[in-house]
A and B are shown apart, each in its own frame.
Chain A
Amino acid sequence: MPSQNGGAHSILVSRNMTSVTDGGDVGQTDMLWATDFSGANYALTGMAEFVGNADIGIIGHGSVVAGGCTLFSYLHDNTKTDIDTAMVAGFGDQ
């Protein structure tokens, strides 16, 4: 489920998504699922891409609820940053 961040992001490809919202803080993205998980205990995995940047992007999560989650993207030095593309997948019971 790739998406872009930073004031005019767009969802490139998605499945079971309602929306992506940014703007709470730098590097923050909120994702809402179309069909919720049965609870907040499900697995999330993700990758971040910086076009033309040698820094490694890291995805971490903030709050996770049945209907969505908040993700944060970081540079290798642990500073939050808006990234070019995030690829995220969630696995769990619905």
Chain B
Amino acid sequence: MLKIITWVDLQGRYRVTSPAYGSLALQFGFSEDDAINWTWTNIIESGLYGITYDHLFYLVEDADQRERLVECCGTYFRFAKDGDPAKSAWLMSDDGRPVVDMLKAQYIHMDNIRTVRNRQLEKESGSRDRQPLRSKPCLLQSGRQGYRHSEIFRKPLI
């Protein structure tokens, strides 16, 4: 079974590289090891990712990776909806395969539920008014005895 290369880029994103074994064997007569070596060298020397020769990478059997993907619920937790790589729930484990960070997975799952819920509420009511407001900083500070009106409300009462 052929190996894939797994690594984490400088933005912290879990990446999977498949060497083109067939193409490299046909063009250059490369063995599997040659193809892996050529591929990783090419990734570094292309300069596309800004990584250097000491960058950590793993060789993972394709079948093992697919087995782990089932345990990770496919790629459901791989990317946050807003595209922020810091919120991706995938981490690289010691064997180079992905594992799910459960705290971040919670965020991704809740965000997906929120999106579906808002869409449904909008469909039912025909407006976005029923959707809860995005969380705002709480104006009422605990322990404080009094407030001025302008601190809480935008408009005067009269």
Contacts and interface: CB of A to CB of B under 8 A. Distances in A.
Interface of A: 3, 6-11, 13-26, 30, 32, 34-35, 63, 65, 67-68, 82
Interface residues of B, number: 37
**6 nearest A-B residue pairs (beta carbon):** A17-B20, A14-B23, A23-B15, A21-B17, A14-B20, A17-B23
Nearest to A25: B83
Contacts of A34: 20, 23-24, 27-28
Contacts of A67: 42, 46, 48
Contacts of A68: 46, 48
Given A18-B19, A32-B46, A65-B48, A8 B26 contact: no
Nearest to A66: B46
Interface of B: 2, 4-5, 9, 11, 13-24, 26-28, 38-39, 42-43, 46, 48, 62, 65-66, 69, 72, 74-75, 78-79, 83, 98
B14 A23 contact: yes
A7 B69 contact: yes
Given A8-B62, A14-B23, A34-B24, A19 B17 contact: yes
Given A7-B65, A15-B26, A67-B46, A21 B15 contact: yes
Contacts of B48: 30, 32, 63, 65, 67-68
A44 to B, nearest CB: 16
B84 to A, nearest CB: 10
Contacts, number: 104
A8 B19 contact: no
Given A23-B14, A82-B75, A16 B23 contact: yes
Given A23-B15, A23-B16, A34-B23, A10 B42 contact: no
Contacts of B5: 19
Contacts of B78: 7, 23, 26
Contact of A10 (B9, B14, B18, B79): B18
A21 B41 CA distance: 14
